[in-house]
Structure 1
Amino acid sequence: MADNRVVCSRNEKMICNEAALQRLEYPRLRALLAGQTQSEPGYLLAEQLLPFVDQAVVEKALTEVDEAAGWLLDGQSPSLGGCWDLTLLLKSVQAEGSLIGVDDLLKVAQSLRVMEDCRLWFKTSPQKPLVCQLAVEMTALPELQRRLQESIDSKGGLLDSASFELGDLRYQIRQSRSRIKQQLDHLLTGDHSSSLFQERLITIRNNRYVVPLKSDCRGQIKGFVQDESASGQTLYLEPSQVLEGNNRLQQLVREEQREERRILLQLAGLVRRDSAILGKNQTLLGRIDLRFAAARLSQSYQGCRPELVDESIIELKQTRHPLLMEVEGRFDLSAAVAVDILLKEGCQALVISGPNTGGKSVALKTLGLLLLMVRSGLHIPCAPGSRFHLYRYLYVDIGDEQSIEESLSTFSGHLLKLREILAQADEETLVLLDEAGTGTDPAEGAALIQSVLD
């Protein structure tokens, strides 16, 4: 039978298939972890988190979480909010001559500030080797940061300081508008002309300054009618006195637009030049954010790092199912009963028996989810001194396996699952079976499970 262990985006085999992740509610755990992040890159990493295959990677991630938890205990943590995921933006700007909108440039500027603040925070904070090394690997981009700071305001607009030419053009535009408004205001308030207008109002039609002339006063003031009201009672007149001023204003506005485009192209070129560094910095900051999120999650359910052992041993003391403790977004330790799960060295099977609703399935799911958590670099809710073997593979047969589409009964579904497990399981495999002999005669089901255990 083909190996159905799912393949992740890096073409690395995972420890279990997607169905097992769903049965053990791993996506829900990821959502809780994502809720503890501060940045968009960190949030995306949490949402996409999968158990690591390499044990060295697992232990490094756990150590980074240990370091982050140490900072939190001291009341310290970097502020990482305001950093955006720039992945698509950086891809879109790779072509020469690509343009980046002002809103996206603002995101780059905000992300740069967060990255630089993060880098400096670790530089001045008590040293913890692994997480600090992530910050050390971040590269400052002073030129790009300065140019964006000079060019983009906090609302996503181009500043006058973006270039001398832009500042000068905008000054001329303000002066032109002021002169036009003065001329129109003088016309609206003049002794001989004020009665010709519907109201004392200067407005814009077709990008030109106009005044509201009464329709029955047409021809009494020289100018061009740019528009009229729906009722036909008002004509929006551009008096001849401001014709030249409006023309000059339109010319200045077009020059402003050309200068703005030139600046945006220049800034896009700088982002394109530094795109590789920006991408690397984003990845490093996202990882830092993920580790601090894991530390905050650990604090919320009083988690710790179990001792990882080479022997096939499980000694989980006073452990709880983390999702059972979550109540309306907060963790309540009293909401889940603590249990000890012990599997001594040399013991290859653990049978959990008891009455219905006694917690047998919860214990199995707890063990499976805790393995996924440790392999994901997360602390688990257990007492200090707990020991755990980092099993390489995980198989789960929990719940009803029947399939109407494939004409499988509950018992047939379990049989197929067991056949798959027996064909692939080895000494590095953790197998969780929950009532796998159900759906048939109790004696036959018991005999089946006994043969599997043997």
Structure 2
Amino acid sequence: MNEHALRILEYEKIKQQLMHHTASSLGKGLIHELTPSGDLDKVIKMQEATDEGTTVLRLKGSVPFGGITDVRPALKRSKIGGLLQARELIDLADTIRGARLMKKFILNLIEDQELELPILQECTETIDPPGELERKIRRAIDDQGGVMDSASPALRHIRGQIRTCDSRVKQKLENIVRSSGKMLSETLITIRNDRQVIPVKQQYRASFGGIVHDQSASGATLFIEPQAIVDLNNQLSEARAKERHEIERILRVLSEETSEYAEVMLENIEALAQLDFIFAKAGYAHEIKATRPKLNDQGIIRLKKARHPLIDRQRVVPIDVLFDEHTHALIITGPNTGGKTVSLKTTGLLTLMAQSGLQIPVDEGSEASVFREVFADIGDEQSIEQSLSTFSSHMTNIVTILKRVDFNSLVLFDELGAGTDPQEGAALSMSILDAVYGKGATIVCTTHYSELKAYAYERQGVMNASVEFDVETLSPTYRLLLGVPGRSNAFEISRKLGLPAEIIAGAKLQISTETNQVDKMIASLEQNRKTAEREEERARKLKLEVEAREADLTKKLNELERSKEEILNKAREKAERALSGARREAEEIIEELRNYQHSGNVKEHQLIDAKTKLAHALDSLQPKDSDQVKKPEQKLDRSFHPGDTVKIISFGQEGYIVSKISDQDYLVQAGILKMNVKANDLKRIKEKKQAKPVVNVRTATQTVRPELDLRGERYEDAMRRVEKYLDEAMLAGYARVSIIHGKGTGALRKGVTKLIDRHPRVKNARLGSQGEGGSGVTVVEFK
């Protein structure tokens, strides 16, 4: 990628901001090496990785990178037999632990949330932290980097000796200090040359003997190791020397252990660096309110509400930039300080960011193109050292661009042709634009030359644009207006500032008729644009109000459906309890009748009692008059013939007609009983050809809807509801039903798909069409 363009578009500042979101020097190293890629497939994969990172941060808020450091130098030294220090080893153990926690975090998140994060998963699965090495290091070294007594039995024994010798030396010296107070400059014990000494006045030197290790600046005080403790100090020094040797031996063993895992750990570090890099990009995207753009390599750019990431978000004015299949050049005109250069730089910088795998600060639905090269000629390139004027410097850069530009390039020209005679500069600018455009490059150009406004109208694929200027406030609005060329505001501004009207009138006489007509046309276009924007804003507000009302109505409807479902469930449970009780009571009566039958001694009053109990049991299942909706009476056929199968309405029992007693009375055989029954208590029924399981289809169709709404449900509850609903829908006789799971993270949709795939009675399942709810609905067809 062109280094000059990266520098002038301030790409390095983006990298500096990105580094603030890294958790370790591992990610910083990859960011330092980051450059835009011109390979579309590579850029798409980089954007996918960043998108996966933003998904994780959206769900969890943060990632556990604690303890991970760049231990690659230590690992490389261990491979060649180098001795690692205790601090390096504990850093290594912390990094192993961090790698283990990171792997567990990512894989558990993928499993628990049923997410598809292929890039993060692949990167994480390569991490293989050596837990045995971590345990060995932690058994020997504490968190502060000190070798512990437990590192080896020998070290524990040596340190015991040190403590004993040190205690004896201190005790001996304290006795000397107490008994020799007037001979000492201070009553204290100090250290010189790693030996414990006392400060003795010069005149009492001979009273102590021993070794003089130091003296004060005046020479009045000598720091003496008394002869009485020389041997003890020697023993202490020998013990400390043994300690150093034993610590070195322990570190040597751990260093050799580390060398065995060096290659594995180096691979782990590379994977952790990639993860740190991905989550740094995701964190930066969250900070600048960025979105993932759609990508292409056809020069198509659609930036909606694009914001320059280096300008304060409270002050930056969003712009729209459009390069469709038919537009390959944008000519931006307008006043100085109006935002032309910012619009130019925004387009270039966001392109570089997108090609680096970074999400960009634009609205959803934006699109960026991947270019092999991005060229920029921006700002004052005057060079005193090379004796180049501004014009010469620009031309030198443009010559370089013309040599390298091709159809897969984005070229940014700021004030093309400036710094020379206006007429020649305009002609030269048009010729340069023709040359670059002829090579198929995509161009953004800012200019003051009015001739370039006509250039855009005369050439296919070139669009005019301008930065808006408010004449009333004499200040720019920094808005980019596509399709509208900038017009001169010199006369209006001069009039506002108080320039006499006769001077302005005289100036207007110097302007050609064609120029005046063009200015009037541009003014008319601006007025029409403002009117259209006002209408668009009004339509947007109305749309938001309608959407809010629709959401409110949907919420109320869902609440009503839930309330209805609760009422039906309670009614169903109550009915089931009543039916169960009645069934038990009826079974008891039937069992009692069977007992009478077996005994052969059935008395009339017993049959009457049993009949009464059965009638009461069946009557308890009948709805009360107050609960029933009265229906118009229907005339029924109440004439029966011997052998007809009938149902005794008051008993709920089936039987057959034995004989006719009168027009209103019939003798009916019901089980073991024969009884006289009124005609209006009988109902003719058809004989059953074959016994079938009784299915209350009527009830099912009344309570089962042809769609199931799972939005807002927890995953486990939703799966249970789907399983139950599919069975009920089949019993209700539905051939096709809809399951509404919404789009969201996709977890519910995947769960529904898995459950449906396992169901034996499902014939086909598909996502809803445009009119059925799209990917937020799964349509199920039964066999």
Same fold (TM > 0.5): yes
- What SS class does the counterpart of residue 433 from structure 1 fall into? strand
- The partner residue of 2:40 within 46, 55, 70 is 55
| Residue 414 (str. 1) matches residue 394 (str. 2) | yes
Give 1:346-361 correspondences, 5 Å limit.
346-361=326-341
Preserved contact between residue 90 and residue 141 of structure 2 (Cα < 8 Å)? yes
Cα displacement (A) at 1:181? 1.4
**Partner of 1:26 in structure 2?**
11
Give 1:272-283 correspondences, 5 Å limit.
272-283=259-270
Cα displacement (A) at 1:77? 2.5
Q: Which one-letter code corresponds to 2:176 in the other structure?
A: L
The separation in 2 between residues aligned to 1:210 and 1:397, in whole angstroms, is 74
**Partner of 1:297 in structure 2?**
284
- The partner residue of 2:196 within 198, 209, 215 is 209
Q: Which one-letter code corresponds to 1:118 in the other structure?
A: M
The separation in 1 between residues aligned to 2:189 and 2:41, in whole angstroms, is 72
Q: Give the alignment's TM-score, normalised by structure 2.
A: 0.52
Q: Which one-letter code corresponds to 1:160 in the other structure?
A: D
The separation in 1 between residues aligned to 2:295 and 2:421, in whole angstroms, is 41
- Provide Cα deviations, 1:11-44, integer angstroms capped at 9, x if missing partner: xxxxx32111110000001000001111111122
| Residue 258 (str. 1) matches residue 245 (str. 2) | yes
Preserved contact between residue 34 and residue 44 of structure 1 (Cα < 8 Å)? no
Cα displacement (A) at 1:340? 0.4
**Partner of 1:176 in structure 2?**
165
- Provide Cα deviations, 1:118-153, integer angstroms capped at 9, x if missing partner: 122223223422213212111211232122222333
Q: Give the alignment's TM-score, normalised by structure 1.
A: 0.88
Q: Which one-letter code corresponds to 2:372 in the other structure?
A: R
Give 1:386-401 correspondences, 5 Å limit.
386-401=366-381
**Structure 1 unmatched runs, 5+:** 1-15, 326-331
- The partner residue of 1:117 within 97, 101, 104 is 101
Q: Which one-letter code corresponds to 1:347 in the other structure?
A: T
- The partner residue of 1:218 within 196, 205, 208 is 205
Cα displacement (A) at 1:432? 0.9
**Partner of 1:368 in structure 2?**
348
The separation in 1 between residues aligned to 2:286 and 2:61, in whole angstroms, is 14
- What SS class does the counterpart of residue 74 from structure 1 fall into? helix
Give 1:26-105 correspondences, 5 Å limit.
26-96=11-81, 98-105=82-89
| Residue 447 (str. 1) matches residue 427 (str. 2) | yes
The separation in 2 between residues aligned to 1:201 and 1:356, in whole angstroms, is 78
**Partner of 1:286 in structure 2?**
273
Deviates more, 1:343-352 or 1:230-239: 230-239
Preserved contact between residue 378 and residue 413 of structure 2 (Cα < 8 Å)? yes
**Partner of 2:226 in structure 1?**
239
Higher RCO, 1 vs 2 (CA within 8 Å, ≥6 residues apart): 1
- What SS class does the counterpart of residue 229 from structure 2 fall into? helix
Q: Give the structure with higher Rg (CA).
A: 2
Q: 1:415 to 1:236 in 2, by over 3 A?
A: closer
**Partner of 2:144 in structure 1?**
155
Q: Which one-letter code corresponds to 1:49 in the other structure?
A: L
Q: Which one-letter code corresponds to 1:448 in the other structure?
A: L
The separation in 2 between residues aligned to 1:222 and 1:25, in whole angstroms, is 74
Preserved contact between residue 368 and residue 432 of structure 1 (Cα < 8 Å)? yes
The separation in 1 between residues aligned to 2:189 and 2:282, in whole angstroms, is 60
Deviates more, 1:202-211 or 1:287-296: 202-211
Preserved contact between residue 396 and residue 431 of structure 1 (Cα < 8 Å)? yes
Q: Which one-letter code corresponds to 2:200 in the other structure?
A: L
The separation in 2 between residues aligned to 1:174 and 1:391, in whole angstroms, is 71
**Partner of 2:132 in structure 1?**
143
Deviates more, 1:290-299 or 1:196-205: 196-205
Deviates more, 1:131-140 or 1:223-232: 223-232
The separation in 2 between residues aligned to 1:74 and 1:346, in whole angstroms, is 41
The separation in 2 between residues aligned to 1:166 and 1:439, in whole angstroms, is 80
More strand by share: 2
**Partner of 1:108 in structure 2?**
92
Preserved contact between residue 438 and residue 445 of structure 1 (Cα < 8 Å)? yes
Question: Percent identity between the aligned chains?
Answer: 40
**Partner of 2:363 in structure 1?**
383
**Structure 2 unmatched runs, 5+:** 435-783
Preserved contact between residue 294 and residue 367 of structure 2 (Cα < 8 Å)? yes
The separation in 2 between residues aligned to 1:265 and 1:145, in whole angstroms, is 16
Cα displacement (A) at 1:86? 2.9
The separation in 2 between residues aligned to 1:288 and 1:307, in whole angstroms, is 23
**Partner of 1:329 in structure 2?**
none
The separation in 2 between residues aligned to 1:21 and 1:230, in whole angstroms, is 62
Cα displacement (A) at 1:307? 0.9
Preserved contact between residue 312 and residue 346 of structure 1 (Cα < 8 Å)? no
Q: Which one-letter code corresponds to 2:142 in the other structure?
A: D
Q: Which one-letter code corresponds to 1:155 in the other structure?
A: Q
Q: 1:215 to 1:442 in 2, by over 3 A?
A: same
- The partner residue of 2:308 within 303, 307, 321 is 321
The separation in 2 between residues aligned to 1:403 and 1:260, in whole angstroms, is 62
The separation in 2 between residues aligned to 1:164 and 1:40, in whole angstroms, is 38
Preserved contact between residue 354 and residue 368 of structure 2 (Cα < 8 Å)? no
Cα displacement (A) at 1:391? 1.7
Deviates more, 1:27-36 or 1:84-93: 84-93
Cα displacement (A) at 1:366? 0.6
Q: Which one-letter code corresponds to 1:302 in the other structure?
A: K
| Residue 167 (str. 1) matches residue 156 (str. 2) | yes
Preserved contact between residue 184 and residue 202 of structure 1 (Cα < 8 Å)? yes
Q: 1:143 to 1:307 in 2, by over 3 A?
A: same
RMSD of aligned Cα (Å): 2.2
Preserved contact between residue 226 and residue 237 of structure 1 (Cα < 8 Å)? yes
Q: 1:188 to 1:70 in 2, by over 3 A?
A: same
Q: 1:310 to 1:233 in 2, by over 3 A?
A: closer
The separation in 1 between residues aligned to 2:130 and 2:412, in whole angstroms, is 51
Preserved contact between residue 40 and residue 83 of structure 1 (Cα < 8 Å)? no
Deviates more, 1:72-81 or 1:165-174: 72-81
The separation in 2 between residues aligned to 1:57 and 1:256, in whole angstroms, is 55
- What SS class does the counterpart of residue 437 from structure 1 fall into? coil
**Partner of 2:410 in structure 1?**
430
Q: Which one-letter code corresponds to 1:343 in the other structure?
A: F
- What SS class does the counterpart of residue 263 from structure 2 fall into? helix
Number of residue pairs matched? Answer: 429
Q: 1:120 to 1:171 in 2, by over 3 A?
A: farther
Cα displacement (A) at 1:396? 1.0
Q: Which one-letter code corresponds to 1:242 in the other structure?
A: I
**Partner of 1:403 in structure 2?**
383
Q: Which one-letter code corresponds to 2:246 in the other structure?
A: E
Preserved contact between residue 212 and residue 223 of structure 2 (Cα < 8 Å)? yes
Preserved contact between residue 38 and residue 371 of structure 2 (Cα < 8 Å)? no
Q: 1:425 to 1:199 in 2, by over 3 A?
A: closer
- Provide Cα deviations, 1:73-95, integer angstroms capped at 9, x if missing partner: 22332221442223444444443
Cα displacement (A) at 1:305? 0.6
Cα displacement (A) at 1:353? 1.4
Deviates more, 1:103-112 or 1:173-182: 103-112
